[in-house]
Copies of this chain bind each other. A is one copy, B any other.
Amino acid sequence: MARPTLASLARELAVSRQTISNVLNAPHKVKPATRERIQAAIEAAGYRPSAAARQLRTQRSMNFGMRLLPATDGINGAVLDRFLHALTEATQAAGYRLTLFCADSDSDEIRQYEELLDVAGLDGFILTSSTPDDARTRWLQERGTPFAVFGRPWDSAGRPTSGSHSWVDVDGAAGTEQAVQMLLEQGHSRIGFLGWYTGNPVGADRRRGWQRAMDAAGHRRDVPDLSVEAEETVAGGASGAALLASRGATAIVCSSDSLALGAMEKLRELRPGTGRPAVVGFDNTPVAAALGLLSVAQPVEEAARHIIRVLTYELASNGTAGAATPATNPPDRQLLLAPHVVERIPLPLAPTGIRQA
């Protein structure tokens, strides 16, 4: 027994293809009695319209594309992992599908866009990072392809801009600011910042939050002394922490969990027996969770859901061009989400159950 098609089902029910099609796509056009009869038959036969045939006619693939970035670090890759998972779920819930692809550079990524648009007819793309003066977003905008970015656009000087395309981002500065405030409340005043070497604008943003909070607390003169940049590794974090400690820092806010991990180990080594060092990481990766490290958590699941909301809204309104009443409020095309510091019980933990094998 072959898969039912519109034609085969229509024959069985003694109605036309179009009527069945209308039951699925424009139910209000079909008389209620007929509609119910056909709906029942659709369920009974397990009929599902072919996406390929539909795409051929409508020029819509109901398919989004996303580049899978090469796992740079691995520790921090966990953030993208959670993002990807939430994105897949949201895509599915919206009735779309998600196609993954790889690219070995940003220009190759553009080549892939072109190919995927021509061949597979993808309806839109999700980008998971943005660079200053991004060539990819420019290309997509010129071509008029729907897309949304997880990450704010940055101007060529590396400062956040608003841009004209859709994006969602997490307010890194707000995160580090919150971390500093928490440490101030705990009685710290010499709070260091441990960031990245590279001119990465995301890192600069996180540093700004620390600086803002220090300024506000009246520690402006300490800022130059207490800010250090290191290589994005555990070892880099250890070295940076040593330097900050030598300058009298009693607490450290970091740009990443890798740095924070190194910093924590180093402080523990320098001041043994003083309990968990006051170190806050960024991204709340599984490692931080496993080791009881405080960390600033990004609401990536919320970000992913919003991205899909924006994309699907845009695609839906493209179709209904003209004088259509927007049933729902348009989602913000540019949204900055607030992160929060995750509190944790310090290690070592109470022993958990073990068993003889």
Contacts and interface: CB of A to CB of B under 8 A. Distances in A.
Given A290-B258, A357-B195, A61 B71 contact: no
Contact of A228 (B193, B236, B355): B355
Q: How large is the interface on A (under 10, 10 to 19, 20 to 34, 35 or more residues)?
A: 35 or more
A290 B265 contact: no
Contact of A84 (B68, B239, B285, B290): B68
Contacts of A121: 50-52
A352 B235 contact: yes
Interface string A176-213: 00000000000000000101010000000001000000
Contacts of A61: 52
Contact of A71 (B51, B81, B101, B349): B81
Contacts of A354: 228-231, 236, 239-240, 243
A269 B353 CA distance: 19
Interface stretch (A91-99, A161-169, A321-329, A335-343): A91-99
A261 B238 contact: no
Nearest to A73: B286
Nearest to A266: B348
B77 A234 contact: no
Number of this chain's copies in the assembly equals 2
A15 interface: no
A84 to B, nearest CB: 7
A118 interface: yes
B351 A239 contact: yes
B85 A239 contact: no
A74 interface: yes
Contacts of A85: 68, 70-71, 102
A119 B287 CA distance: 40
A236 B46 CA distance: 48
Interface in A35-91: 46, 48-53, 55-56, 61, 63, 68, 70-71, 73-75, 77-78, 81-82, 84-85, 88-89
A274 interface: no
A289 interface: yes
Q: Which of A89, A98, A102 has the most CB of B within 10 A?
A: A102
A233 B74 contact: no
B88 A100 contact: yes
A133 interface: no
Contacts of A78: 71, 74, 77-78
A20 to B, nearest CB: 16
Given A52-B120, A63-B99, 16 more contacts: A50-B56, A51-B120, A52-B53, A52-B55, A70-B85, A74-B78, A77-B286, A81-B81, A88-B100, A88-B101, A97-B120, A227-B356, A231-B353, A235-B347, A261-B290, A287-B287
